[in-house]
């Protein structure tokens, strides 16, 4: 099955060009590129709205469409890489669903839970497949860790911790603004916390009952001026009593590698520690299990999604997964703002 790829949204801050990973797949071809109406100037960062998209299309051998709905009307486009700001995502997802196009959507899936519900409902009604690009699930050591936890290698899980700190300061050219906050909904806890929360929900597979969070604008004056966090600490208490913590942020440290990344899971029969993108140590009596070779996480994720589309199987990371993460994140921001533990009610689960 040959899949044509269309793009809605180019050069939008924080939205990654997953169409390029799709185009590297032998079953996919990049066909058409467009912008979308009402792009926030803060998210486009002074790029020429049309000129930048036209240049991008030429660079990658695709045609440029003046109207994003023209991309959706093309018979040779089957999958849309939806790289719009979260504020605009619900309406554009609904348009993709009406056109019967599968969707690859960067995180955050939407600005808030109301938008996430619109997306989930549209995808459910239409039957299209949607990939939310939480590619941490496809890191080989994290997949192995989850497998070992689910197989009982550490016994009953007691605690889990996920740390993801990006070093080197903000990305080149970025300045925190109110326009950015209005379009995305949060700072670095939103940015990196998506990966941590999704992995904890996916691995522990129990509802989250309570959330307690603290956040700070610890490093950057522009973040501080608009009330945007660059560092956050979140504690999740799960229904089975497991307590999980996550620390995420963007620091001033100049180091290589550019990120500090670790996952630790402790149970009644041992512990598992993942430090960095490759290592995975099991502190139990079980024999060591090699990680093995595999494609980089983004490539592996795209391959799994293309396979799901071709075989009419469920998306490996779907809209409901994206909504669950957003629900926990919203509770974390409420907790940090109000200084209290927040109950999840029915709970968010994998």
Tens of pLDDT along 165-175?
A: 998 888 778 89
The whole-number pLDDT of residue 261 equals 85
The whole-number pLDDT of residue 254 equals 77
Express each pLDDT in 277-288 by its tens digit.
Answer: 556 666 655 545
Domains assigned to the chain: 3-128 (3.40.50.720), 136-288+325-348 (3.30.360.10)
Per-residue burial over 73-86, b = 16 or more CB atoms within 10 Å of its CB, e = otherwise: ebeebbbbbbbbbb
Q: What is the mean pLDDT of residues 4-21?
A: 92
The whole-number pLDDT of residue 347 equals 52
Half-sphere exposure of 93 (CA within 13 A, CB side): 32
Averaged pLDDT score across all residues of the chain: 91
Residue given tokens 């402790």 in the structure block:
266
Q: Name the pLDDT band for 45 (thresholds 50, 70, 90).
A: confident
Q: Name the pLDDT band for 61 (thresholds 50, 70, 90).
A: very high
Q: Name the pLDDT band for 13 (thresholds 50, 70, 90).
A: confident
Express each pLDDT in 120-165 by its tens digit.
Answer: 999 999 999 999 999 999 998 899 899 999 999 999 999 999 999 9
- Based on its alpha-carbon atoms, the radius of gyration of the chain, rounded to whole angstroms, reads 20
Pairwise pLDDT comparison (276 vs 1), residue with the higher score? 1
Pairwise pLDDT comparison (171 vs 94), residue with the higher score? 94
**Token duo for residue 164:** 């993801």
Q: What percent of the chain has pLDDT over 70?
A: 92
Give, in degrees to the nearest 5, the angle at Cα 188 between 186 and 189. 75
Q: What is the mean pLDDT of residues 303-321?
A: 97
Express each pLDDT in 231-256 by its tens digit.
Answer: 999 999 999 999 999 999 999 987 66
The whole-number pLDDT of residue 265 equals 95
Q: Name the pLDDT band for 275 (thresholds 50, 70, 90).
A: confident
The pTM (predicted TM-score) of the whole model is 0.92
Q: What is the mean pLDDT of residues 58-78?
A: 96
Residue 346, pLDDT above cutoff 60: no
Distances (CA, A) of 322 to 134, 169, 177, 197, 345: 8, 27, 25, 10, 18
């Amino acid at each position: 099955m040959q899949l044509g790829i269309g793009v809605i949204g180019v050069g939008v801050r924080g939205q990654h060009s997953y169409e390029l990973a799709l185009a590297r797949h032998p079953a996919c071809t990049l066909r058409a590129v467009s912008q979308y109406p009402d792009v926030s100037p803060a998210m486009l960062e002074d790029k020429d709205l049309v000129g930048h998209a036209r240049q991008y299309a030429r660079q990658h051998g695709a045609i440029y469409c003046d109207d994003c709905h023209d991309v959706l009307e093309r018979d040779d486009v089957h999958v849309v890489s939806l790289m719009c700001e979260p504020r605009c995502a619900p309406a554009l997802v609904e348009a993709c669903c009406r056109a019967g196009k599968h969707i690859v959507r960067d995180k955050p899936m939407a600005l808030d839970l109301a938008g996430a519900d619109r997306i989930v409902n549209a995808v459910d009604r239409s039957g299209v497949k949607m990939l939310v690009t939480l590619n941490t699930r496809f890191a080989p050591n994290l997949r192995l860790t989850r497998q070992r936890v689910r197989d009982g290698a550490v016994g009953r899980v007691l605690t889990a911790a996920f740390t993801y700190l990006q070093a080197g300061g903000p990305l080149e050219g970025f300045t925190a603004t109110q326009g950015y906050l209005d379009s995305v909904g949060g700072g670095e806890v939103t940015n990196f916390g998506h990966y941590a929360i999704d992995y904890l929900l996916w691995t522990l597979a129990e509802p989250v009952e309570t959330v307690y969070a603290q956040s700070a604008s610890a490093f950057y004056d522009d973040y501080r001026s608009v009330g945007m966090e660059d560092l956050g600490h979140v504690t999740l208490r799960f229904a089975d009593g497991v307590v999980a913590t996550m620390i995420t942020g963007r620091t001033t440290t100049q180091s290589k590698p550019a990120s500090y990344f670790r996952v630790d899971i402790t149970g009644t029969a041992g512990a598992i520690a993942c430090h960095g993108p490759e290592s995975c140590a099991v502190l139990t009596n079980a024999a060591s299990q090699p990680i093995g070779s595999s494609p980089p996480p983004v490539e592996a994720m795209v391959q799994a999604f293309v396979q799901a589309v071709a075989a009419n199987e469920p998306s490996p990371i779907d809209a409901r997964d994206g909504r669950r993460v957003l629900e926990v994140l919203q509770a974390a921001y409420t907790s940090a703002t109000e200084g209290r533990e927040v109950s999840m009610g029915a709970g968010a689960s994998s």
